Amino acid sequence: MSKVPAPKKLSTENLDFYYGAFQALHGITLDFQENLITALIGPSGCGKSTFIRTLNRMHETVKGTRLTGQILLDGKDILKEDVNAVRLKVGMVFQKSNPFPKTIFENVAYGLRVNGFQGGKAAIQEVVEKSLVKAALWEEVKDKLHQSAFGLSGGQQQRLCIARALAVEPEVLLLDEPCSALDPIATAKIEDLLFALKSETTIVIVTHNMQQAARVSDFTGFFLLGMMIEFNTTNTIFQNPTKKETEDYVTGRFG
């Protein structure tokens, strides 16, 4: 009996992207299924990070860029929506952990405060605790919530950034190489966390670590020279790819 595919949560249609006159992405059409993890792999400079940043319009913070095509969240084009509303629904965690120069508590509460959260102090405390629990960080920081976030280790800072993103309950979570600066133990904690989170959010992760892509994702897309070369279930991409370029990359022949 064939498995019913998960509903489509986020998709791009014929997406082209330009830095000035340079075209960085060419006609990317891709569907991300709800409550699943999609990994994007490919050599450096192939467009993965550029692409993931278009999915919550982070590209708009860079001057001289231009995007054509559509990005649909639940069937609605996010390019026509209020950008702040889009980023509440589509959260982002970057390669380098970027905690704010605030306490651990205020880092997590930040999104609530800037978005006019209506609850009082107790409600904010509840959300902060819940987010830190979801990010598998609560037990490590519960006694130092009012200390600087910069006192945390690199792996803890990255989980804090994930907790900060989760506090506003995003429908999609984008992660751009979230483990590239972390040791294997911290990386394993982030990967375990992604498995736990996918029941409530749709996850897209850019990674250079092919073992990581194979471990954590349900689907994988292979980028090369700004193009989506192949997209399929992760098992298919790693065990039976249809394109020679994909096979060469995943077997280590280039990249």
Looking at residue 1, its pLDDT comes to 46
Across the 255 residues of the chain, what is the mean pLDDT of every consecutive 10-residue run?
Answer: 72 97 96 96 93 95 94 95 92 90 95 80 93 94 97 94 93 93 88 92 94 95 96 96 94 74
Q: What is the pLDDT of residue 113?
A: 84
Separation CA 175–CA 109 (nearest Å): 20
Q: For the chain, list the domains and their CATH numbers.
A: 8-250 (3.40.50.300)
State the Cα–Cα distance between residues 224 and 165, nearest whole angstrom: 29
- Write the CA distances from 77 to 55, 69, 87, integer angstroms: 11, 10, 13
pLDDT tens, residue by residue, 30-78: 999 999 999 999 998 899 999 999 999 999 999 999 999 999 999 999 9
